Amino acid sequence: MRFRTRAFLLCFVPFALLLTGSFWAIQKLVKSTVRDGLRTSLRENHLAVARMRARSDLRNGRFVKIVAENASLKAGLQLLMSYPANSAARQTVEDQLRELCQQMEFDFLMVSGSNGAPLAGVLRGDAQLIPAQLIPMEAPLARAPRQGLMMLADKVYQVASVPIDQGEENIGELSVGERFDFSGFGTPGVLMRHGRVVQSSVPEIALKEVEASLQGCRGTGECDVRLGGAEYISLPMDSASLGGLDDAARRGDGYVLRSLQNVDSASASVQSVLNRVFLMAATAMVFTALMCSVFSSRSMVKPITAMISHLQASEGTGLLPEFQGQLSSMREIRDLTSSFNHAAGAIREARQGLQRAYVESVGSLANALDARDRYTAGHSRRVSDLSCAAAKALGVAAEELEAIRIGALLHDIGKIGISDTVLLKAGKLTHDEFAIIRQHPEIGRRILEGVQGFAPYLDVVELHHENWDGTGYPHGQSGETTPLAARIVHVSDAYDAMTTDRPYRRGMSHKKAISILREFAGRQFDPRVVDVFTSVATAFDAAAGPESPAAPAEEVRQPELAEMGRR
């Protein structure tokens, strides 16, 4: 991944994460606020229901007490208690209960004996099947609680009971009930008994699904449930909401009434407004952050890219560049640039010192070689000067010119490995001795190739005796296969060898040496190099003074020309 991309991501991603986290936190806060509001609303609704039911219970309680004092009902109850198996007595009581139930619009009315055993009762049938008809309760009669909820024929009734007294004696109990209905509640509700849902007013949700969702609601505390993909809050109704039923009675019968409120539905409008506002704000903020991130990443990456470009450009030169001016207004970048410039200057000075020491060591090697023979003293230096002059005339680049200069100084370094008896022999060399002399280019390469800094000069050292026609040594290369630097040094070496005195002959004149070079151009030497070298050598000879006496003509034959450059 590119540095600019990484810098952009480092600037933008934290902001995007912060924005996302803020939106998530705000949503949670809104939902929590809505939840608190719903919880308060549910409790207020519970209190309203409790007050309404309290008034209804007070009214019903008065009616029930009046019914319990009905003389006909007491007489019928005493008759039925005396003859419990008599159907006529039972029917008489049921007729009386039916009449009272119709008058007071109860849904359920039942009498029990003094021992609490049910004797007779009537309940209002399903209005869709038997409209407004009160039917007798089927035996065995259910034992009604004194107060609370009871289930008859898959229907739930809210029941209250009062004693029936004859004077000071209790002769039975009258139980009255109303169909339990959620219509009095402003929110959906669920009636549960022993963990099972008996009734539910949650719209479009099956009882089984409601029951499964409420399994996690342990006891009578508040809990959160999911129904139909929506989140609900569920609160239990207190005893006041159930008409004064105490907690012990409710727990004994196993009935629990819970109200539910759709949190998602209640918060939808607020969330919608919040989403629109946040979307507009987020769009503006993201755009601003995007532009700031782009600008910041560019301000960081641009100077660093410039530094990298300078470093890449320095690969060819091996020198570290110094930056001119300020690459950036950032203090850290300025400090980095300043430190880099100081480091580049130090490296440049160290390189220059190393180069000076290197050149001095090369000169020492050349002087050590020339010191072995007083006749060849200064030979390497002269060959180097002549080669550089010819290379300049040929238009050689400055980098290659330096390689030619030092390579020419070292071109005979391999002669260090040649015995003095061969190298300093006064007479002509034998065939075997000349074969030993011909080894000095390869010896020189082996001496220098172990040092990395001498790599640019190996071609000159090894190939400066290769001939244009392929008759040279050590590899017999021909034409331009031999590098130009080696071909230039070859001509300069031959010229200096011919114009200097040796123990076995006198040096030739400049004019004679040039004529020999021209004669063997195209065979032993590169013709183009010889043409350029002629003018260069003439200038050098003019600066050196009068010509030396010419050597005898027989010394310029081609077989002997190779021997002239042996030392």
**The domain boundary residue, chosen from 151, 182, 213:** 182
**Can you state the angle between helices 263-317 and 331-370, rounded to 10 degrees?**
30
**The domain boundary residue, chosen from 182, 215, 244:** 182
Average pLDDT, integer, range 534-542: 82
457 vs 328 pLDDT, higher one: 457
Query: Helix (H, G, I), strand (E, B), or coil: what is residue 328?
Result: coil
* Per-residue model confidence (pLDDT) at position 212: 84
What pLDDT digit, counting tens, does each position of 472-515 carry? 999 999 999 999 999 999 999 999 989 887 766 788 889 999 99
Q: What is the CATH number of the domain that holds 131?
A: 3.30.450.20
Average pLDDT, integer, range 149-161: 79
How confident is the prediction for the chain on average, in pLDDT? 76
How many domains would you assign to the chain? 2
Residue 298 pLDDT level (bands cut at 50, 70, 90): low
Residue at 472 is within a domain:
yes
Q: 162-171, 191-200, 247-256: lowest mean pLDDT where? A: 247-256
Residue 120 confidence (pLDDT) above 80? yes
**Can you state the angle between helices 263-317 and 3-68, rounded to 10 degrees?**
170
**The domain boundary residue, chosen from 150, 182, 214:** 182
Residue at 543 is within a domain:
yes
Residue 566 confidence (pLDDT) above 50? no
488 is in which domain, residue-wise? 372-564
Residue 151 confidence (pLDDT) above 90? no
In which region does residue 318 sit, left (phi positive, over 0), alpha (psi from -120 to 50) or beta (all else)? Answer: left
* Close Cβ partners of 417 (under 8 Å, ≥ 6 residues apart): 439, 440, 443, 447
Residue 37 pLDDT level (bands cut at 50, 70, 90): confident
Residue at 277 is within a domain:
no
Residue at 503 is within a domain:
yes
CB 410 within 8 A of CB 444: yes
The Cα 498–Cα 491 span in angstroms is: 11
Residue at 187 is within a domain:
no
Residue 253 pLDDT level (bands cut at 50, 70, 90): low
Residue at 23 is within a domain:
no
* Close Cβ partners of 567 (under 8 Å, ≥ 6 residues apart): 373, 375, 376, 379, 412, 415, 423, 424, 497, 502
* Per-residue model confidence (pLDDT) at position 219: 60
Structure token digits, residue 188: 């959906």
* Per-residue model confidence (pLDDT) at position 299: 66
Average pLDDT, integer, range 308-325: 64
Residue at 236 is within a domain:
no
Q: Which of 541, 492, 495, 540 is nearest to 514 (CA)?
A: 495
Residue 517 pLDDT level (bands cut at 50, 70, 90): very high
* Per-residue model confidence (pLDDT) at position 241: 44
Q: 231-245, 379-393, 483-497: lowest mean pLDDT where? A: 231-245
At residue 40, φ and ψ (nearest 5 deg) are -65, -40
Average pLDDT, integer, range 190-213: 82
* Per-residue model confidence (pLDDT) at position 250: 41
What pLDDT digit, counting tens, does each position of 71-113 carry? 888 888 888 888 888 888 888 888 888 888 888 778 888 888 8
Q: What is the CATH number of the domain that holds 441?
A: 1.10.3210.10
Average pLDDT, integer, range 338-353: 76
Residue at 408 is within a domain:
yes
Residue 470 confidence (pLDDT) above 90? yes
